Chain A
Amino acid sequence: MEKLKYALFTGCTAKESTPEQLMSTYAVAEKLGIELIELSEASCCGASHLQDYDDFLSLVLNARNICYAESRGMTMVTICNTCQLNTAMTKHRLDTNPELKARVNEKLAEVGLEYKGTSQITHFLYAIIDDFGLDKISDMVVKPLSQFNIAPFYGCHNIRPSELQNESHKSAENPYNPTSLDDLIIACGGQNVDYEEKNKCCGFHVELQAPKTAAILTGNALVGAIDQNADWMVTPCPLCHLKLDTQYEHAGHAVGRDTKIPVLHMQQMVGLALGCTPEELGLQHHVSDVNFL
């Protein structure tokens, strides 16, 4: 197989509050022999809030980010669900609306860029499932996670709206019963835990303006996993991770339960199974301690 190469859109969180996510992404890519070229010119995607204030500006900035993947002739890989949704949504709107695309390109021309629509945009989770393959990951596992019950937490912006999401990757995901992350857990030798909240919202986006709503949603997710005897949780989204990992105490107060459970990034889980060290995966950066190793 030819070496897989992607343009990596890190997003902001991986550079700030979840450094462990970026470390583990590179550690796993190295183990799998995937080359990641960082889009160092990329700006913030607006995180689904900028468009509430200024929709056109959000489109222009996201289109600019895609331009840099296009100029490298590569598929863009995201490691944050919200980056994935915002970028893929921009691509969809521009690819289906020539008038809007022309208006955006008029602005991009001012800095010598043009959005063409030639690059695909996919989340790292689907890149490794679709392009690398679960069977191959399974073959490469050196430390199977067979002792662990692992609860997958999918994150809204990777599974909804399904019509848009399923344009971005080959393996069709059912938003009411997603399976990709479960399959990845199994490929790593772990036992996947089924629970009602696995495809629900963590509340991250209203953390500031509606803290009670956000805390209850996070609490429900943590309790859902704990009640199904999960040893730990895993998520492909750093924003979900921030809620589940750093806010578990608030969430516990909101739902009246002890909600402490380790939460790993999907890259950290794969990294553990492939034999990376805890330090390489940044497990020391978690607020809810990773205490099972």
Chain B
Amino acid sequence: MSDSITTKNVTFKVFRFNEETDYLPYYKEYNMEVTSEEVVLDILDRIKWDHDGSFSYRRSCRHGICGACAMKVNGKATLACKENLHSLTETFGDELVIEPSSLKRAIKDLIIDKGDFWKKHDQAQPYLIADIEEHPEMECAVSPSESEQLLEADLCIQCGACHYSCPVVEINEDFMGPAAFVKAYRFEADVRDEAHVARLEVVGAPAQGIWDCVKCFECAEACPKELNPIEKITKLHNMLFTEGVSNNPVAERHAVGFAHSIKKHGLLDEGELVRYSEGNLGVLKHVPVAIKMFRKGKIVMPWNMPKSDKLDEIQKLVKSSSTSKY
């Protein structure tokens, strides 16, 4: 019967570390019978209650709302209270590695220092900025279609799953990260908000902002609420152009350059894109690599640039379908 409870034997390798007493982290192994009803949190509780009272992790609501129990299982970010163990073993086999969301931020076992997350969350100005009268005559009306513009950004539970799955957060400490961008988008898309441009200037700034996103889709894969953070990042990119907020010319021209090139050739002119993005001076730093590529037959000269067939069609569509200006 499909609804009967089954059990299976699973090996758990659990990350252990105490900042105050350990030089290095280690993994402790537990073999357990796991039922088809149990989630990761049940196992953490059993380890703590039956085996080792010092084992530490964050938990609170048990309903996927508080975001406290975010962690990684075999590298996959998840909420311990959400993830069924039998389905995890179907994906990863019968050995599951349980680790904190970010190894380098571990304080005690699965508990991490989430300070950087909250600092970046604050940077996004995650609140409504509006000059609203103290005793307004009318309520601040938002139509259903206007509230739909928030997409699901309002449902973020700040668990940090996307933030600590983002490779840029790992190597660039200024980068705000996907969760902060989702939060920024949530208020950018709010018709009552009056700080659109100011917030976009933060979100569009070099190093910290959305232009440093590598488009790896780790955030979309990680989010346990399936909020697709990179979709909100794209919306923020679009807003930078519609609001005319420009403080990262290389990155902006890198996006715009595609439209120029497609209009001219149908295809992308790779060399011209680099020149247009970097400018005539900036492009010089690419010359050494370009020479190596040229020697290997990897550079197409402007006079040999291939073109799409039916280029007139493409040009007509670029003209009639463009919705942005730069």
Interface residues of A (CB under 8 A from B): 12-13, 15-19, 40-44, 46-57, 60-61, 64, 107-108, 110-111, 113, 156-157, 160-162, 174-177, 200-201, 203-206, 208-210, 212-214, 216-217, 246-247, 250, 284-287
Contacts and interface: CB of A to CB of B under 8 A. Distances in A.
Contacts of B238: 52-55
Contacts of A216: 171
Interface string B89-108: 00110000000000000000
Interface residues of B, number: 67
Interface in B266-289: 266-268, 270, 274, 277-278, 289
A284 B92 CA distance: 40
B212 A287 contact: no
B155 interface: no
13 contacts: A15-B267, A16-B298, A43-B262, A46-B262, A57-B317, A57-B324, A174-B92, A176-B91, A201-B214, A201-B216, A205-B215, A213-B172, A287-B289
Contacts of A107: 317, 320-321
Contacts of A246: 289, 292-293, 298
Top 5 closest pairs, chain A to chain B, by CB = A160-B217, A52-B237, A201-B216, A209-B251, A53-B255
B256 interface: yes
Given A208-B250, A210-B172, A174 B91 contact: yes
B172 A44 contact: no
Interface string B296-326: 1111100000101110011011101111101
B218 interface: yes
B88 to A, nearest CB: 11
Given A52-B237, A161-B217, A174-B91, 9 more contacts: A16-B268, A16-B270, A50-B259, A52-B238, A54-B238, A176-B74, A200-B167, A209-B248, A216-B171
B171 A157 contact: no
B95 to A, nearest CB: 12
B192 interface: no
B26 to A, nearest CB: 19
Given A217-B167, A246-B292, A57 B221 contact: no
B251 A208 contact: yes
Contact of B324 (A53, A160, A174): A53
Contacts of A110: 316-317, 320
B221 A209 contact: no
B258 interface: yes
B254 interface: yes
A60 B221 contact: no
A162 B277 CA distance: 32
A286 B308 contact: no
B41 interface: no
B166 to A, nearest CB: 10
B300 to A, nearest CB: 5
B244 interface: no
A67 to B, nearest CB: 10
B270 A13 contact: yes
B300 A16 contact: yes
A176 B75 contact: yes
B261 interface: yes
Contacts of A174: 91-92
A111 B258 contact: no
B279 to A, nearest CB: 11
A42 B308 contact: yes
A247 B256 contact: no
Nearest to B249: A209
A174 B75 CA distance: 12
A55 B234 contact: yes
B207 interface: yes
Contacts of A19: 297-298
